[in-house]
Structure 1
Amino acid sequence: MPVRMPTPQDLRDAGRRFGFDVHDEEVDGFSQYIREMLPAYRRLDELVAPTVPVKYPRRDFGARPATDDNRDNGWAWRCSIPGAPDGPLTGKTVGLKDHVRVAGIPMMNSSSLMEGYVPTEDATIVTRLLDAGAEIIGKVVNGSHCFDAIGLSIYPGPQPINPSGPATGRYCAGGSSNGSAVVVANGDADITMGGDQGGSIRIPAACDLRPDSAYRAGRSRPDGRSYRTDDENGARLRAGVAGRGRCGRSGPAPERCPGQGLHRPARSGCRRPADRHTHSGFRPCSIDARGGEAARVLERVGATLADVSVPMHLDGNAILWPLMIQGGNETNKQDGWGHGWSGHYALDHVNFMHRAIKARANDLPLGLKLVLLLGEYTYQRYGMHYYAKAQNLTRALRAAYERIFEDVDVLLMPTIPFTAPPMPEEELSPYEFLSIFANMIHNTGSFNATGHPALTVPCGEHEGLPIGLQLVGRHFEDDVLLRAAYAYEQS
């Protein structure tokens, strides 16, 4: 794509977008100097950028599953990519959320905007899973562009159905990692990978996973994952895939990550009181009651319980929203990748997104349109004020939780304040769809802002629908959460 010389009108238009005029004498000066700078861009066109080789070549790229071979519509693509013969995940099957790049396999991210994109490289997590011995058996459905906490914006469809709902009705699977939860709930994969920027793993896990199935899922970091069978899988996965990748923001180092040491006494993960947070407006009251019963189960296996209060928790979403809206707006305006971070950029994806948004912006999902509209409006009207203030308040919110963690090891609370809603019989209005999203992240979003590790375990039912219990821990103490979840699971 050779870089052409901007015309005088190009320069005037660019200046106008920033609110200043470019006068004729300035146009001449800028044009002369830009002409001297363009050879650098042309030299970039000549240079060969480093690429990521595909470590595990695949002979069969698979296909989209037939309807009768796709229980509850959880799968987006089926394939078989075997990994190394030995490793902590040997014998485990894995499904990947369809926002993960797998070389040679289409990536839709549940959006018609992405139709036709086939990655040429594997994401870091793909190579890590295969190095650890896992077999990747497909990609799972997710809410469009991962901005859907209820799981209804699915392209090309059909919508995933909650496999744990009563036989008398059809219920939503949550979102945005709805296919991840559906597939593990049905036992069609041992492990599924997701992504959680506001609750997108924990919410579908809480909606879809029953305690009698012994499933456990969810973390609050963007490298999220869902696990099936028991927390041993969680520890194996963490040990197998953790560590620094091709992005300068990644971590922690593998030696900080738990392996398989979950069989120590439960009290080692809960030496100080575990917290039963009871001040977050849960409804109905039976959900809070189930959380109390789950806390008492941990007490029987060695935990000490204490009621604590974090008043600022109620402001968590007010702090998170400007970060998601304005930050998401800037990221999506920059072809979905953003600026300023060091690491490997997938040029095929960057270029595809740039062309697709220019050609088919009307295909953007409702949630992402909200991000772009409100993010652009607040920036144009108020600049960076609310984003910057939210970042500063995030430190205060983190400190409020840290003060509690001086006395407790684990915070307990319902993952979402209600059970999975029924599938709508008619298409929701834009307001109805967006309002459900906001309510779903009532208890989950704060910990995405602060970076505290969080997971959810199934702890009971209400009117035949699963209830999730959220466990939250200190930074980099994922092993404590896994031991607490394992102790609860084993009891």
Structure 2
Amino acid sequence: MATPSDVVAAAQKLSFTIPQGHETDYLALLGTTDRAVAAVMAHADYQIAVDEVQYPRRNIHRPLPEDNKLKGWAWKATIQGKQGGILDGRKVCLKDTICVAKVPSLFGTTAIEDFVPVSDATVVTRVLEHGGTVVGKAMCENFSHGPTSHSTPFGPVENPYAGGFSAGGSSSGCGALIGSGEVEMGVGGDQGGSIRIPASLCGIVGLKPTFGLVPYTGVLSSDPAIDTVGPMTRTAADAALLLQAIAGYDMIDDRQLGAPLPANVPKYSELLLSSREHSAKGLKIALLKEGFAQSSVEVDAKCRSAIAKFEELGAIVEEVTVPLHLLTTHLTHILNKFASSQTRQGRQVSRRGLYINEYWETLLPWTQDKLEKAKFYVTGTAMSAEYGWSRYPTAYGRAMNLSRRLRDEYDAVLSKYDVVMMPTVPTAARRHAAYDAGPLAWAEAAGEHLPPSVPFR
């Protein structure tokens, strides 16, 4: 129960001097909070029921090093889906932010231990209902934070084409495992490029869906305003098929404003096949000038070579400009850091949906040991955010409003063109940063991989 020292501590956090004589009143009010919390905590948590009879979890284990040469696996398991669905026979890995009941989650870190989800994420249920076989959890970066692939405490996730080079992050394991051919499909997560970066560096297809199209229910959050999950596959056809399976409103995730019900999700795979019957002749492509502003000579040449192929096929290519696009590095800094730091402290409010309480019960409170294990993408974000919120309390709101303006400017371009093209990442894969390098070196390594496409949220 609350004590007078709790009253003092709460007031100090608010920089509030309690008027003389009111101390006992506030103590009584804190007692009301104690009673409300006790009443709520006395009830069992209301999580999503899992059908372990139809979808039993088999062979759950941490793979041996010889079976995990790219370090792309966090955990292995086998969950067989229904037969006859559109994903029938397909092996699917899941980024280790996506909850699978009974399968432990590492979240790319040793700062938390013994976190075992009790529910399946909606995307897991849908993969199984459509016939896919879940074969394990793919490693992600430490607390799923960072665009490189060197931040896990178990060694860097390796690029499937070049050992010692980045596979991209934070969905690094999915990129490596799919790129190497170990699995055909994966579901990754993306807030600021975490699907698109590893897809680009590992030579696969990565799709960040329209915000809210795919339910985020049962996935560990960075910031509800930008959280997204989507397909990572070897081909565009498979990406369309997987998106078709996992998209649609689940009646839980309140981020899905305007999303169709699963029965009304377009048959993306059929639409893709029908589009192949049409040539690129007349396709209007907008080349975003600012999207090439930071790309290396090598990446620029590759991208323009691909665009030239479209021109040969009859596409109309024109350069367009959206000057505000150049602000995206700064917008991303504020939106990502200011919000994700609050989420990691368990400050989850203003949302109606599934709360993964067993995760927070495992993580909180933060300690010096946990912060050191989280490493520099996480601690750097926490430091920047605490400073930023105290010094610039309206910056997050301004950045979110400007990001909406940026969306409107992109929409204006897309009202005249069919496609906007630019490089996905500014450079080819870089060598891993040293794990024992300092926070600034890690930040510089991350900057090399931040994609020009990051503002497409």
Shift in CA distance, 313/43, structure 1 to aligned 2, threshold 3 Å: same
Shift in CA distance, 87/7, structure 1 to aligned 2, threshold 3 Å: same
In the superposition, the TM-score normalised over structure 1's length comes to: 0.82
Select between 17-26 and 412-421 the one with higher mean Cα deviation.
Answer: 17-26
1:50-449 → structure 2 map (5 Å cutoff): 50-56=46-52, 57-155=55-153, 157-165=154-162, 170-209=164-203, 215-219=204-208, 222-245=227-250, 246-250=252-256, 252-253=259-260, 254=262, 255-261=264-270, 262-266=272-276, 272-279=283-290, 280-334=292-346, 338-355=348-365, 360-383=370-393, 385-424=394-433, 427-448=436-457
Taking the aligned partners of 1:217 and 1:145, their CA distance within structure 2 comes to 21
Taking the aligned partners of 1:55 and 1:36, their CA distance within structure 2 comes to 39
Shift in CA distance, 259/357, structure 1 to aligned 2, threshold 3 Å: farther
Taking the aligned partners of 1:325 and 1:39, their CA distance within structure 2 comes to 34
Residues 286-321 of structure 1 show CA distances to partners (whole Å, capped at 9, x for unaligned) of 321221121122334453211112111111121221
Amino acid at match of 2:381: V
RMSD (Å), alpha carbons: 2.3
Shift in CA distance, 259/265, structure 1 to aligned 2, threshold 3 Å: closer
Shift in CA distance, 386/127, structure 1 to aligned 2, threshold 3 Å: same
Deviation at 1:18, TM superposition (A): 0.4
1:13 to 9, 13, 24: 9
Amino acid at match of 1:428: A
Shift in CA distance, 37/320, structure 1 to aligned 2, threshold 3 Å: closer
Please tell me whether the aligned partners of residues 284 and 419 of structure 2 are also in contact (alpha carbons under 8 angstroms).
yes
Taking the aligned partners of 2:78 and 2:193, their CA distance within structure 1 comes to 29
Shift in CA distance, 83/19, structure 1 to aligned 2, threshold 3 Å: same
Deviation at 1:425, TM superposition (A): 6.4
Aligned to 1:29: 25
Shift in CA distance, 35/173, structure 1 to aligned 2, threshold 3 Å: closer
Amino acid at match of 2:374: L
Please tell me whether the aligned partners of residues 146 and 177 of structure 1 are also in contact (alpha carbons under 8 angstroms).
yes
Task: Give unpaired runs (5+ residues) of structure 1.
Answer: 210-214, 449-491
3-state SS of 1:260 partner? helix
Amino acid at match of 1:64: R
Shift in CA distance, 270/264, structure 1 to aligned 2, threshold 3 Å: farther
Please tell me whether the aligned partners of residues 283 and 314 of structure 2 are also in contact (alpha carbons under 8 angstroms).
no
Residues 69-101 of structure 1 show CA distances to partners (whole Å, capped at 9, x for unaligned) of 123221121111001122111111100111111
Aligned to 2:223: none
Shift in CA distance, 292/23, structure 1 to aligned 2, threshold 3 Å: same
Residues 129-168 of structure 1 show CA distances to partners (whole Å, capped at 9, x for unaligned) of 111111000111111111111111112x121111123xxx
Amino acid at match of 2:136: G
Task: Give unpaired runs (5+ residues) of structure 2.
Answer: 212-226
Percent identity (aligned): 25
Shift in CA distance, 437/36, structure 1 to aligned 2, threshold 3 Å: closer
Shift in CA distance, 352/18, structure 1 to aligned 2, threshold 3 Å: same
Deviation at 1:355, TM superposition (A): 4.1
3-state SS of 2:344 partner? helix
Q: What is the aligned length?
A: 432
In the superposition, the TM-score normalised over structure 2's length comes to: 0.88
Please tell me whether the aligned partners of residues 104 and 119 of structure 1 are also in contact (alpha carbons under 8 angstroms).
yes
Taking the aligned partners of 1:239 and 1:443, their CA distance within structure 2 comes to 27
Amino acid at match of 2:415: E
Shift in CA distance, 429/40, structure 1 to aligned 2, threshold 3 Å: closer
Please tell me whether the aligned partners of residues 93 and 183 of structure 2 are also in contact (alpha carbons under 8 angstroms).
yes
Aligned to 1:474: none
1:457-476 → structure 2 map (5 Å cutoff): none
Deviation at 1:63, TM superposition (A): 0.8
Please tell me whether the aligned partners of residues 271 and 409 of structure 1 are also in contact (alpha carbons under 8 angstroms).
no
Taking the aligned partners of 1:129 and 1:357, their CA distance within structure 2 comes to 37
Taking the aligned partners of 1:159 and 1:443, their CA distance within structure 2 comes to 24
Deviation at 1:61, TM superposition (A): 4.4
Shift in CA distance, 122/405, structure 1 to aligned 2, threshold 3 Å: same
Amino acid at match of 2:400: Q
Select between 283-292 and 79-88 the one with higher mean Cα deviation.
Answer: 283-292
Select between 437-446 and 296-305 the one with higher mean Cα deviation.
Answer: 296-305
3-state SS of 1:275 partner? strand
Select between 347-356 and 87-96 the one with higher mean Cα deviation.
Answer: 347-356
Deviation at 1:360, TM superposition (A): 3.0
